[in-house]
Amino acid sequence: EVQLVESGGGLVQPGGSLRLSCAASGFTFSDHYMDWVRQAPGKGLEWVGRTRNKANSYTTEYAASVKGRFTISRDDSKNSLYLQMNSLKTEDTAVYYCAREPAAIPRRYFDYWGQGTLVTVSS
Amino acid sequence: QSALTQPASVSGSPGQSITISCTGTSSDVGGYNYVSWYQQHPGKAPKLMIYDVSKRPSGVSNRFSGSKSGNTASLTISGLQAEDEADYYCCSYAGSSTFVFGGGTKLTVL
């Protein structure tokens, strides 16, 4: 069974940093591109960014709203995905989901999602 | 990119059919056959319902179908059931390895 479990959320002050983790199981993590998607309270979904797999050099892409502040990384030996968030703003307050893209090309959707972890940016 | 445009809410009675629209531009919805739809119940994670405009993952009821015309994609749910009451989000590939979501539509089953 595919499972994605996020952790690391919490309360942080504006300008602060936080690192989220996503533990994957039930599939060959290294084969898949992985993404972060967030949802502000009472709002819609917003794509944050993605990391490609080893075969594609672990390259990353980001939404304009987080580029330069957020960094996505992964450790295939630990079946884990990470989101390092720096220079946090109040508008980054959201539930952050990790999501899997399918292994088969083209990878243009998210077939499994975690339950999310809440990040609150407030003084 | 700007979020795709969805109606804030739609409603229908059990057994009826409803359609949710998702309007973008030629840079996203109109430019690629990579529209997906997600169902989200309150407090839960999104669930994939449709991908590549009209394909259904295994395990998703055939009451759910998708289509696209120009810059607008649509999700149709036939034979509405109480359990279909949820928020629905469209998502499109937007080029340069990025994605854009719609603002979401709340479906109420009367």
**Strands (DSSP E) found in chain A:** 3-7, 10-12, 18-25, 34-39, 45-51, 60-62, 70-75, 80-85, 94-100, 112-113, 117-121
State the average pLDDT over residues A99-123. Answer: 94
pLDDT digits (tens, 9 = 90+) for B5-24: 999 999 999 999 999 999 99
Mean pLDDT, residues A65-93: 97
**pLDDT, tens digit, 9 for 90 and up, residues A6-63:** 999 999 999 999 999 999 999 999 999 999 999 999 999 999 999 999 999 999 999 9
The shortest C-alpha distance from B104 to chain A (Å) reads 6
Query: Residue A8's Cα: distance from chain center in Å?
Result: 11
Tell me the percentage of chain A whose pLDDT exceeds 90.
Answer: 93
pLDDT tens per residue across span B37-56: 999 999 999 999 999 999 99
User: What residues in A contact B99, CB-CB < 8 Å?
Assistant: 35, 47, 108
Q: Do B51 and A50 touch (CB under 8 A)?
A: no
Could you tell me the two tokens for B32? 């690629």
Dist. CA B61–CA B39, nearest whole Å: 12
Residue B1 above 80 pLDDT? no
Average pLDDT estimate for B54-68: 96
Q: How confident is the model at residue A83 (pLDDT cuts 50, 70, 90)?
A: very high
Say what the pLDDT of residue B2 is: 82
Which of A45, A46, A72 would you mutate first to test chain B, the one with the most B CBs within 10 A?
A45
